[in-house]
Chain A
């Protein structure tokens, strides 16, 4: 009950009127920048860093943390309404969220996201309160070989993200991997595919690519439709999720909370990867995966829950080990350094008011966010009543400003425009940008980790078997593939025997886990 005592102490810090104000300011700013496409938590925190210097360290971190998890709430809104990911972690939400908007279910999508975010966030804070010291061991257990395995698992999941054909998804993933090789070689530092452009030396920016392919591509696509046509598609009804919606998404929210929490603990895991993993998981578990990409509520609820859970658990490696697991936490780390506090294993003992104060403030912040967000859902969907011409122009403007803010480099604005056109072409040709964007994120981590692993093992592949994390994950991947073959050949035999002429439902590996979970479910039913 030590943790409870400490938490009580934390609440006394967090309930200090000034700190309450900072939580509030943090979550409000976070929601706002989450809504503005391109402008994400990283740019905002970087911007506010010099201001926090004059603040008390607890208040500073409380506010910056609020911005981070607040932005996870806000990022949903434009993803759902305009197919413009408000920030990176919400890319996945565009898949089904925007489809729900087209079906007039924007309010439902936003409502379930807010509720899922609250639950995911809260589950992760409870985990942070009680499991933080334990989990810090997990974070360091994953080395380069483990990352290779995780990334390969991720790429394996990529193909299930697309809504079209598997071949097209694989093709897009390949393009994403190729694009990720642009820039300096991670081991030798030499330039690759930069064509003499200095701005390409650091590689293409993920946000610029995602904003272009999803947001600008959709804006261009919408120009083809008449104003009248758009008004019909965006008719608003059902602001509040129905009982059936809750029932459909409760499993996704529960799984998203746990999945997001664990992925967030891994360095680099917060945000995008957690929401992508949750989406892939929901799609695979679904009885009818074809609903995904066409407005499945689980496809919104799961990822939105997971990204909030992960943005909270990402604080564990920082506060317990002193290891910032992503860019935002690196900035918060910088903020603590500014105050002469070095995050590390000693933080909980040396600065208990920082650790427990921040943890307690997260409970409060999440509560504030749900109270703020639920009534705002009604306000935000009014955005769809704005004439499309005005709305898209404004959205494009905000995207350009946001993307510029990433590196203060006008080059990124060209990247958005070029990928915007590409995104439009892809919509016309029925190619899904999802696999491309995911492969683009996974590619550099895979490459760097693989080359690190090969350096460490002196070129021997044995390390993937001797490293426990990578061995476990590769066995998992192997089982997936095996199941794919078994179910496929069984189905083939079955169809032959029955001599049924019906078309084969599926002959790809992608559906193997779905088949797996289906067969498990059937077994469960069969058991007495």
Chain B
């Protein structure tokens, strides 16, 4: 999923703001415009809420944001306007969010790349510390796949061959500063298995490269296109990056299971974030509404059952996840 996002930011997808918001507003107002806004001891929100997405419209990040926005405006009683700001590889949106008034009327989508990694790699004038985490919307693991005619039937065979021929295996990743790329680097540094990570612009380019036989394997963000390829047999999944096996690929072992205990971090997290210093009442109200939305079957279906965590992760959990990511990546990326 991250790959798709990454691709879009790189392709400079053109985007719309106002009208997307307007349509949403129309849809949303029809739904729950009259809902009470006085619960939880706060009159928040008093006006429409802006929701900044650091990627272009149309991709998984936007689709996730749109789904939650339509649910949130029903319960908050104010329009939630999704604005796509893909400029500066997402940094423009993050900067704007960091410097917005922390009153809950400006929120955004926080995810691995723009929120955690880019400020480590480049001087951007913001860092994770400038934001408040609200809760998780969706999570997408990364899958190691090979082509249908690959000689390797399982992860053990693949990694054994890779160890025997350091650097010979080319594995496409969704971009240079992505969790997937870093996990492959850790594979070399911590486990002595060297494969060549080939940064690409996202799932489409990666798929082309594997089908055409230009790379040996992909470390690709799981999404419906990958699932379809696995189903029809043109991709063979070898391992998955999440800490536990995924319910939708029960036969695919985790990287931890095949011997790489520490490699459990290549998971894209789409969270709701706001500027640093949001009032506790606003935060808890948002967190509660987000939790309700994350359990809404319509939302879950729209985003994909597999990508919405069964158990809601709120402000604290999201903050911990991003902080852990930062601690892990700083020494690797900051070199």
Listed in ascending order, the chain A residues whose CB lies under 8 Å from chain B are 40, 42-47, 49-51, 139-145, 183-191, 196, 198-203, 205-207, 267, 321-327, 330-331, 333-335, 337-338, 342-346, 405-409, 411-412, 448, 452, 455-456, 458
Contact = CB atoms under 8 A, between A and B. Distances in A.
Interface in B239-263: none
B266 to A, nearest CB: 16
Given A51-B23, A407-B92, A448-B201, 13 more contacts: A49-B58, A143-B212, A143-B213, A144-B209, A185-B176, A188-B176, A189-B121, A267-B208, A323-B204, A334-B59, A345-B232, A408-B16, A456-B196
B88 A452 contact: no
Interface of B: 7-17, 19-20, 23-24, 27, 56-59, 62-63, 66, 83-89, 91-92, 95, 117-118, 121-125, 167-168, 170, 175-177, 196-201, 204-205, 207-209, 211-215, 224-225, 227-229, 232, 234, 302
B57 A46 contact: yes
A456 B204 contact: no
A452 B14 contact: no
Contacts, number: 198
Contact of A186 (B88, B176, B212): B176
B176 A408 contact: no
Nearest to B176: A189
Nearest to B196: A455
7 contacts: A47-B57, A189-B121, A202-B9, A324-B204, A327-B8, A455-B198, A458-B167
The 5 closest A-B pairs by CB, nearest first: A143-B214, A47-B16, A46-B57, A334-B58, A189-B177
Contacts of B95: 198
Contacts of B88: 198-202, 409
B63 A327 contact: no
Contacts of B91: 198, 201
B208 A140 contact: yes
A47 B19 contact: yes
Nearest to B213: A143
A406 B56 CA distance: 9
A76 B24 CA distance: 33
Contacts of A333: 58
Contacts of B232: 344-346
A200 B14 CA distance: 16
Nearest to B206: A323
Contacts of A186: 10, 176, 199
A272 B331 CA distance: 42
Main secondary structure of the interface of A (DSSP, over half): helix
Contacts of A337: 63, 224
Given A338-B63, A448-B201, A452-B199, A50 B24 contact: yes
Residue from A141, A191, A199, A408 having most chain B Cβ neighbours under 10 A: A408
B58 A196 contact: no
Contacts of A327: 8, 11-14, 56
A51 B229 CA distance: 29
B139 to A, nearest CB: 18
A284 to B, nearest CB: 30
Residue from A327, A406, A407 having most chain B Cβ neighbours under 10 A: A407
A187 B176 contact: yes
A408 B208 contact: no
A241 to B, nearest CB: 33
Contacts of B170: 455-456
Contacts of B56: 46, 327
Residue from A45, A202, A333, A345 having most chain B Cβ neighbours under 10 A: A202
Contacts of A196: 123
A185 B16 CA distance: 26
A202 B177 CA distance: 13
Contact of A40 (B14, B123, B213): B14
A409 B85 contact: yes
A183 B12 CA distance: 12
B224 A342 contact: yes
A265 to B, nearest CB: 12
B207 A411 contact: no
Given A189-B175, A190-B122, A202-B89, A452 B198 contact: yes
A465 to B, nearest CB: 15
A142 B199 contact: no
